Amino acid sequence: MRIKRSAIRPIARTLAKELAFTFALLVGISVVVYAMLVTAPNSHSADLATARPAEQTATPAYFHWLAGLVQGDLGNTSRSGGLVADELIPAAGHTLFLIACAMSASLLVAVPLAVCAATKRFNGLSRPLLITLYLSSALPSFWLAYAAIFVSTHYLDYFPVVDGTNIDWPITALATAILVLGSGLATTAARELSSELTRVLSQEYVTAAVAKGACLWRHAYVEGLLLPILEIAATRLSHVIGACVIVEQVLNWPGLGRLVWQAAQERDTHLVMGAVLACALFVALAHLLHRTLHVLMNPRASHMGY
């Protein structure tokens, strides 16, 4: 991917704008979360990490709280009294691993399905698979996980639930989680990718490329596959994180989702707040990454080329 020397400045300008937007986004998220904390009806949630005296108005307390956030101080959990950050970080790591596996697996399935649908080949194979995926994505994940456990224990002799809090590579739990998490994503991804692909394949530059004897995919893959995959991954990330809560609860996977569920049951405000902020930060950064890659790959996005 060559970049013209004269294009560096417009690209940098666009990226700076995206960075500023993400920064504003993070500020906005913190405002929303803080507003929810402040409007809490009971004092239990109101005694935040700020430990502010009662006479202080809300605004300086917000900055006090924000300063603590930036330094990594998310407060203490009400359960054990330890730091929220200490509980969050390892759990977040496990969830990240789960999400990465689920998303890559579903994309690996969705891309060939989309190609089949767009080129109208192998319909005999791809259509039934698409329908199965569609049905399994409509089944609620909390039931699907149990059904998978049932099938796994009774017919395959594996017990896919994670035992305790140490993970010794429970492949079966991972497989089940990927199945449950990934089916919904695979369906939406396959559908959107196939519609994008059909649109791109009917573009004139693709016909012109075929007319000169070039390989069709070498020209169509950027707009038809790469950019849409990036967009799907970035937009569906927050949905997948939400679905993780349920899947981790069923499979006892020691991730962020299960942590949040336990904390919500115990009304542990600080932990849930920390988790929400961490996930929102992650999604915002993923969004920024997506925009950066898009700007780098699409010359029109930053008006480079003049």
Partner 1 sequence: MRTRYVERNLDGAQSAGQSFSQTRRWWDTAGIAFGVLVFFVLTLAFTASQFGWLPYDPDQADLDLILAPLGSPGHILGTDFFGRDLATRLIVGVNAYFLPALGAVAVSLTIGATLGLAAGFRGGPVGLATHYTCTLVEAIPRLLLVLFAVTVYQPDIYHIMLIIGLTGFPGLATRLRLRIRHLREQSFFESALASGVSLQTILFKHLLWHHCRPLFLIHASQAMGEAILFETSLSYLGFGVQEPTPSWGNMVQTGSDYLLQGNFWPSTLPAAAIAITLIAFYLFADAFERRAQDRQNP
Partner 2 sequence: MKGSPHLEIENLQAYFYASADRTFVRAVTGVDLCVMRGETLALIGESGSGKSVTALSALGLLKGDPGIVAGRICLHTDEGPRELLAGLDRCVTIERTPERPLSISKNGPAWDRQQKRNFVGVRGKEIAAIFQNPRTAFNPYLMVGEQIVENIRLHTPTKLYQEAYDQALYWLERVGLEPAAERFDNFPYGLSGGMCQRAMLAMTLAAEPALLIADEPTTGLDATLRTAILELLAELQRNLGFTLLMISHDLHVVRRLAQRVAVFYNGVIVERGPSLAMLSANDIPKHPYTQALLDAQPVRVSPKPRRLIALQGDVPSPIGEAAGCRFAPRCTHAKGINAKRCEHESPPFFQVSSDHQLACWLYTDSKEVSVRGVDA
Write out the residues near partner 2 by the rule CB under 8 A. Answer: 2, 4, 120-121, 202-205, 207-214, 219, 222-223, 297-300, 304-306
Decide whether 199 or 303 has the Cβ nearer to partner 1.
199
> Are 297 and 14 a contacting pair, CB within 8 Å?
no
Q: How many CB atoms lie within 10 A of CB 264?
A: 14
CA distances to 11, 189, 244 from 291, in Å: 11, 19, 25
242 makes contact, choosing from partner 2, partner 1, none, with CB < 5 to 8 Å by partner type, with partner 1
For residue 232, how many C-alpha atoms fall within 13 Å in the half-sphere facing its CB?
Answer: 25
76: helix, strand or coil: strand
Q: Decide: helix, strand or coil at residue 83.
A: strand
Separation of CA 216 from chain center: 31
- Nearest CB to partner 2, comparing residues 154 and 212: 212
The distance of closest approach from Cβ of residue 241 to partner 1 in the complex, given in angstroms and rounded to an integer, is 4
Contact assessment for residue 287 and residue 47, using Cβ atoms and an 8 Å cutoff: no
Contacted by 209, from partner 1, partner 2, none: CB < 5 to 8 Å by type: partner 2
Of partner 1, partner 2, none, which one sits near residue 269, judging by CB under 5 to 8 A according to partner kind? partner 1
- Nearer to partner 1 by Cβ, of 6 and 39: the residue is 39
The partner in contact with residue 12, picked from partner 2, partner 1, none with C-beta cut-offs of 5 to 8 angstroms by kind, is none
Does residue 252 come out as left (phi exceeding 0), alpha (psi in the -120 to 50 range) or beta? left
For residue 39, the minimal CB distance to partner 1 (Å) is 8
Question: Shortest Cβ distance from residue 23 to partner 1 (Å)?
Answer: 12
Interaction partner, residue 306 (partner 2, partner 1, none; CB < 5-8 Å by kind): partner 2
Closer to partner 1 at the Cβ: 31 or 215?
31
d(CA 85, CA 103): 26
Out of partner 1, partner 2, none, what residue 104 binds, judged by CB under 5 to 8 A for its kind, is none
Where do contacts with partner 1 occur on this chain (CB under 8 A)? Answer: 21, 24-25, 28-29, 32-33, 36-37, 40-41, 45, 123, 134-135, 138-144, 146-147, 149-150, 153-154, 235, 238-239, 241-243, 245-246, 249, 260-261, 263-265, 267-269, 272-273, 275-276, 279-280, 283-284, 287
Least CB distance to partner 1 at residue 45 (A): 5
Q: Which residue number, 13 or 121, has a Cβ lying nearer to partner 2?
A: 121
Question: Is residue 78 a contact partner of residue 268, using CB atoms and an 8 Å limit?
Answer: yes
The CA distance from 114 to 232, in Å, is 13
Nearest CA among 275, 272, 245 for reference residue 258: 245
* CB of 63 vs partner 1, minimal distance in Å: 20
The residue behind tokens 């009662």 is: 54
Q: How far is the CB of 189 from partner 2 (least distance, A)?
A: 21
Instruction: Report in angstroms how near the CB of residue 213 gets to partner 2 at its nearest.
Output: 3
Q: Which amino acid is residue 177, in one-letter code? A: A
- Contact assessment for residue 224 and residue 196, using Cβ atoms and an 8 Å cutoff: yes
